[in-house]
Structure 1
Amino acid sequence: MQAAWSHADHPAARRLAERGGFAAARSLWVMRLRTADGLPALVLPSGVSVRSYRPEDAAEVLRVNAAAFAHHPEQGAMDEANLAERMSQPWFDPVGLLVAEIADRPGLVGFHWTKRHSAELGEVYVVGVDPAAQGHGLGQLLTLAGLHHLADGGAREVLLYVESDNDPAVAVYRKLGFTHAEADTHVQYVRDARG
């Protein structure tokens, strides 16, 4: 299979893809939020704690990530080597990798990995919640915790990438105030290499 990305859902890109025998397979949205407009208060439910990453959390982050993204074509494949490679990047800050725990429950229940592009631009890089702990608002809680972390560090805008058909995630992001503009749509086209 061959794949190509169009970094805008543009009619000319669609025509070019069709002429080359490619079909649209995925639609990735960029959503944006101005933190300068204010954020909802962060209120942790009883028994839930959110803290920054520690090196001993690596195996748990990988476990939660594998479970949360089992069907995701890129994120679900993160292993120890990939985690180490990401953490070696200049933008990595362990303080901005937030992890969540629930009292009397072993291990992590989720994480929010934030990323800074500049002093004023941050990113919701990855939010993962253990499927066994989903349905209790942890995704929204972790996202909000990360937004506060980025805003407290000076970010005035935060962006994120999300699959357009990931309705639960899109709903959480919209509830927090993220918006999507049509120009911020990336489309992956694929074709069978045998064709």
Structure 2
Amino acid sequence: MDLGTGLTGPAGPDAVLRLVGLVSDVDGVAPVNEQTVLAVRHGAGDYRHHWLADDGQVLGYAAVAGDGSGELCVHPEWRRRGLGRRLLATVLGEAPDLALWAHGDLPGAQALARSAELRRTRELWKMALELELEAGTGPAVRGAGAGPAGVGLRTFVVGQDEEAWVALNAAAFADHPEQGRMTVTDVQHRQAEAWFDPALLWLAHEAGRPEHLLASMWVKPEGDEAEIYALGVAPDAQGRGLGGWLTGVALDEMVRRGYARATLYVEGDNTPAIRTYRRAGFARVALDVQYSR
């Protein structure tokens, strides 16, 4: 069995993405996150790619990102043969302080983490809200109403707003290990995805100054669900009610478009945010975990 590095040989981008798709279908959860998929597809980002192949077929894949996180997956028909441990030893040898994602925190991932004496160091919750599509069913979505005083609202303009949005996002998520690192190139890669709709990316700004951004709400549609993909408020605009207002704007538009469920991701230790989402009717439906030494 061959061990390789980089998106080369049998482990070209298409082969890796086919493996990721197969594992997703079998496990019911994607083994790698969106940023890794885009890094594979576009050959971009600060990533190291590792793979195991036999007779030209990719059986295992692992990625180490520049932020010190990692992910791996093994072909469902080749599990319990030591491939996961071999890939994990490879990436830990390269990055001893690696924080390994276990999307869905499945039993196999838990066992692999225990075998390497890794412990839980971070949780990411997926929460969901069943939307009211007809009167009298599901939790009500309150109308967003008028915005806070002195605030205007517009949608994203492709080719114009990328740099301003990246600057706003970096300020809003300065302490977030992934979100605050997004670049203009990252935004452009997402614009190229089939799900992207600029009408679902709202920009709150100072009234009369559309270039002075205060907050943004980005929604990602997928099937009958719509994810609150990124909600960011500039530090100097905190306390003006922008987050709650933009959430109402997004939920109202989800209902108008006929989506059945709203989803979002939140850090497991962000107790105030979780409390707020639960009051709004959201409940935890999935869990991603990071394991590290």
- TM-score bracket, normalised by the shorter chain, equals 0.7 to 0.9
Aligned residue for 1:3? 99
Question: Quick one: percent identity of the two aligned structures?
Answer: 39
The TM-score, its normalising length taken from structure 2, stands at 0.59
Q: Residues 189 and 99 (structure 1 numbering): CA distance in 2 closer, same or farther, change over 3 Å? A: same
**1:66 correspondence with 2:162:** no
1:40 to 127, 142, 149: 142
Deviations 1:99-137 (CA, angstroms, capped at 9, x unpaired): 11132666110101001101x211111101101111222
Q: Post-superposition shift, 1:15?
A: 4.9
Aligned residue for 2:5? none
Q: 5+ residue gaps in structure 1? A: none
Q: Which residue identity lines up with residue 143 of structure 1 in the other structure?
A: T
Q: Residues 34 and 174 (structure 1 numbering): CA distance in 2 closer, same or farther, change over 3 Å? A: same
Question: Bigger radius of gyration, 1 or 2?
Answer: 2
What SS does structure 1 have at the residue aligned with 2:247?
helix
Higher relative contact order (CA 8 A, sep 6+): 1
- Following the alignment from structure 1 to structure 2, what is the Cα–Cα distance between the partners of residues 132 and 141? 17
Q: Which residue identity lines up with residue 207 of structure 2 in the other structure?
A: A
- Following the alignment from structure 1 to structure 2, what is the Cα–Cα distance between the partners of residues 12 and 80? 36
Aligned length: 188
Q: 5+ residue gaps in structure 2? A: 1-96, 133-137
Aligned residue for 1:53? 156
Q: Residues 143 and 18 (structure 1 numbering): CA distance in 2 closer, same or farther, change over 3 Å? A: same
Q: Post-superposition shift, 1:179?
A: 1.4
Q: Which residue identity lines up with residue 193 of structure 2 in the other structure?
A: Q
Q: Residues 4 and 13 (structure 1 numbering): CA distance in 2 closer, same or farther, change over 3 Å? A: same
- Following the alignment from structure 1 to structure 2, what is the Cα–Cα distance between the partners of residues 121 and 10? 23
The TM-score, its normalising length taken from structure 1, stands at 0.87
Equivalence map 1:148-167=2 (5 Å): 148-167=252-271
- Following the alignment from structure 1 to structure 2, what is the Cα–Cα distance between the partners of residues 6 and 177? 26
Equivalence map 1:129-168=2 (5 Å): 129-168=233-272
Asked whether the equivalents of residues 140 and 172 of structure 1 are also in contact (C-alpha less than 8 Å), the reply is no
What SS does structure 2 have at the residue aligned with 1:89?
coil
